[in-house]
Structure 1
Amino acid sequence: MKNDSIRKLTYAGLMAALCYVGYAVFPAINASGTKIHLGNAFVVLAALLLGGGYGGLAGAIGLSIADITLGYTASAPRTFITKLVIGLIVGLVAHKVARISEDHKKTYILKWSAIAAVAGLAFNCVFEPALKYFWFTILTPNAEKAASAISALLAVTTYTTVINAVINSVLAVVIYNALRPALNKANLFPELSKKSA
């Protein structure tokens, strides 16, 4: 039990570092107030591997640290919330609904890992601008930023957010389905308890 917890924490730390790298190191494309970056792919991958709790926290911590170190400190709390929610949704769909951590055919795993990734990132396409709107109208009033957030929300987010979600979904699903057999063979696949899934 103790070794399993240490393994999960180790994996979570690794995934937090990969989330940071996916955002801070790989070049991001800025367009219409949104960034196309690879950080969310590693949030999804973390949730697929570790479950929603560990995966969501890994993504939230890694990408919040990226915000802080890159000069976007004010957005770090929102980043923490949105990435945690992405991980929780991906983990819910993948491990509670589809139970992909159990033995299944490769096509089943591929299908449900894709559905989980799309569910988490599609929800984020609406949740992130809604959170920004709430943030800039209630918590830290800023009329200009609130108007920008509501514009993005009414447009069911900008095309860049959708492109970002598609790219990150595909990348996470490909990496997960490539890693899963190797981790299973090496007996390194993290076992998910009912709590962490």
Structure 2
Amino acid sequence: MNNKTLKITMIGLMAALCYVAFTFMQIKIPTPGGATSFHLGNTFCVLAALLLGGVPGGVAGAIGMGIGDLLDPTYVIVAPKTIILKLGIGIVTGLVAHKVFHIQRLEGKKLYQAVILSTIAGMLFNVVGEPIFSYFYTTFILGAPEKAAKALASWNAITTSINAILAVIISSSIYIAIAPRLQKNGILKQLAPKD
């Protein structure tokens, strides 16, 4: 399998994992301005960015969770917001992981630190961006009353923070566990972006 085919296949696989984790590993919370949820979708968006780079990882998250939104009547109206934010998570995580730390060259304690800091960067983008973007999207695009939009943004801040903590722990652990094996058989070199 050539490098391009492997990368496209991995984007599809990671998008599917994002979809499943977002859709089936979710607890919905209704608010006056719409719904928010606890979910594990961001975990695989971040993992995709660590494995594939920022844009491919963000595309996987945007596709997987975007489809999740489009197929759920509760979330269909916020699909554009989801697609933008998940793409952002991937880009920030991948940028820090591959352009700042060059994680594909690291091992041991330095790899662990770089992976954890990269995942924190991506999830920090989401923790700040989700409530703010949600407020403006709900108010100006969807036309919800300001009070309802503020309620949704407040709940989004809570759920997004918990989702972020879970994503950092789980995605970092998975990457650290599988990276040596992927490195050893040469797959990681084929997946990771070039320096």
Q: Is the 8 A contact 2:12 2:60 kept in 1?
A: yes
| 1:151 CA displacement | 3.9
Q: Deviations over 1:9-34 (max 9, x none)?
A: 111111000001111122x2234653
What does residue 30 of structure 1 align with?
28
Q: Give the counterpart of 1:146 among 144, 149, 156.
A: 149
CA distance in 1, matches of 2:41, 2:97: 19
What does residue 113 of structure 1 align with?
115
CA distance in 2, matches of 1:42, 1:167: 11
Q: Is the 8 A contact 1:22 1:39 kept in 2?
A: yes
SS of the residue 1:74 aligns to: helix
| 1:42 CA displacement | 0.1
Q: Deviations over 1:153-191 (max 9, x none)?
A: 8xxx22x32221101110000000111011112221114
Opposite residue 30 of structure 1, the aligned amino acid is K
Alignment of 1:93 onto 2:91: no
What does residue 193 of structure 2 align with?
192
CA distance in 2, matches of 1:182, 1:116: 20
Summarize the Cα distance change of 1:161–1:150 in structure 2 as closer, same or farther, 3 Å threshold. Answer: closer
What does residue 15 of structure 2 align with?
16
Q: Give the counterpart of 1:83 among 86, 92, 113.
A: 86
Q: Is the 8 A contact 1:56 1:88 kept in 2?
A: yes
User: What is the aligned residue count?
Assistant: 187
| 1:142 CA displacement | 1.0
What does residue 43 of structure 1 align with?
45
Cα-Cα RMSD = 1.8
Q: Deviations over 1:120-153 (max 9, x none)?
A: 1122111011111221232232114422245458
CA distance in 2, matches of 1:105, 1:191: 15
SS of the residue 1:101 aligns to: helix
What does residue 164 of structure 1 align with?
163
Q: Give the counterpart of 1:57 among 56, 59, 83.
A: 59
Structure 1 segments unaligned to the other structure (5+ residues): none
CA distance in 1, matches of 2:176, 2:128: 27
Summarize the Cα distance change of 1:23–1:151 in structure 2 as closer, same or farther, 3 Å threshold. Answer: closer
Q: Is the 8 A contact 2:43 2:171 kept in 1?
A: yes
Q: Under a length normalisation based on structure 2, what TM-score does the superposition of the two structures give?
A: 0.88
